[in-house]
Chain A
Amino acid sequence: MKALAVAFLAGLVFAVGLGLSGMTDPQRILGFLDVAGRWDPTLAFVMLGAIAVHVGPARWALRAARPVLADTFALPSRTAVDARLVAGSVLFGVGWGTVGYCPGPAIVDLVAPSPTLLAFVLAMIAGVVVYHHGKLRLARMPTPQPSIRT
């Protein structure tokens, strides 16, 4: 129960952080990505702030025996840089660079939806479902589920 309360609080704080830093506006994302236009460095400062706070706890988690409220850490176990990682990141980047939405801000913006956002989120969910349940050969490859590190 405590662990679920933490998950709820974490989601809540995450959303407030995205909104406070302006990341819920896709035009700001596109302003960062558009290096040939009037470049907007906001996203870089957001990443800097997030990593500055998280790097200590993240390094701790790599060494610690177990988290405070659970038995094990569920951290990604893959270490190899493979074609899936690169191909998936290219596809994600092309989608992200088209409208400026990545998954987190798109979900937060659902409280004030535009037709564009609704179409994007429905398609994004469809993309996730097609990956996991589609009849594509690609989708039958091992899933990137974080495995339990013991």
Chain B
Amino acid sequence: MDVAAPSGALSIPVWNALAGGALIGLSASLLLVLDGRVAGISSILGGIARPHRGDVAWRATFLAGLLAGAGILAWLIPAAVVPRPSTVPLLAVVSAGLLVGFGTQLGGGCTSGHGVCGLSRFSKRSFVAVVTFMTAAAVTTFVVRHVLPAVR
């Protein structure tokens, strides 16, 4: 079933997108209801960079699970995890990585922590964060895809 936009731009069947999203919601729910922890990837990384006693093992274990899940993906849905070289210049890639690392720590979350977990708690902070990073990202993508090629 392909409930795509009129242009047919939905890149994956809508049920796969919803089911994959539901698994992400299930993951966040398991971690919160059973362990009392928030499944925010950038906060999980931040807590390893600045470790507190008794607060590191679960983070490292979650990340190990993430990589184990990636291994399962490579076996179940090989197309989901293939090398994806990009035409973006290396300097821009490195800058983007630095901004994502630093920005998520300063802003206290990313797509998972603010986007999935925070919005589900009806957090006002997360709502503002999501609107802000979606807007900043859309403007950036517009510049990278439509403005820079034109001025070059």
Which of A's residues lie within 8 Å of B, judged by CB? 2-4, 6-28, 30-31, 33-42, 45-62, 66-76, 78-81, 84-99, 101-104, 106-117, 119-133, 138, 143-146
Interface pair B52/A53, CB less than 8 Å apart: no
Pick the contact of A51: B83, B98, B116, B137 (CB < 8 A).
Answer: B116
A13 near B145: Cβ-Cβ < 8 Å: no
CA distance A62 to B43 in the complex (A): 19
Are A11 and B27 in contact (CB-based, < 8 A)? yes
Given A61-B32, A85-B125, A124-B100, check contact A108 B26 (CB 8 Å): no
Minimal beta-carbon separation of B5 from chain A (angstroms): 6
Compute how far the CA of A72 lies from the CA of B96 in the bound complex, rounded to whole angstroms.
36
Q: Name the B residues within 8 Å of A144 (CB-CB).
A: 43, 46, 105-109
A68 to B35, CA, bound (A): 7
Q: Interface residues of B: mostly helix, strand, loop or mixed?
A: helix
**A28-B11, A85-B108, A112-B83 are known contacts. Are A50 and B116 too (CB-CB below 8 A)?**
yes
Q: How far is the CB of B39 from chain A (nearest CB, A)?
A: 6
Choose from B29, B38, B59, B129 the contact partner of A53 (Cβ within 8 Å).
B29
Q: A10-B39, A41-B5, A81-B125 are in contact. Are A17 and B81 (CB under 8 A)?
A: no
- Which residues of B line the A interface, CB within 8 A? 5, 7, 9-12, 14, 16-39, 41-43, 45-47, 49-50, 52, 57-59, 61-74, 76-77, 80-86, 88, 90, 92-112, 114-125, 128-130, 132-142, 144-146
Cα–Cα, bound, A40→B112 (Å): 19
Q: A89-B136, A119-B94 are in contact. List 11 more A-B contacts (CB 8 A).
A: A7-B35, A16-B69, A31-B9, A40-B9, A40-B10, A62-B121, A74-B37, A95-B95, A114-B83, A123-B98, A129-B101
| Residue among A36, A59, A103 making CB contact with B45, cutoff 8 Å | A103
Which one of A55, A70, A71, A124 contacts B97 once the chains associate, using CB atoms below 8 Å?
A: A124
In the assembled complex, the CB of B91 is this many whole angstroms from the nearest CB of chain A, namely: 10
Q: Find out whether the CB atom of B100 lies under 8 angstroms from the CB atom of A19.
A: no
Could you tell me the distance between the alpha carbons of A57 and B27 in the complex, rounded to whole angstroms? 11
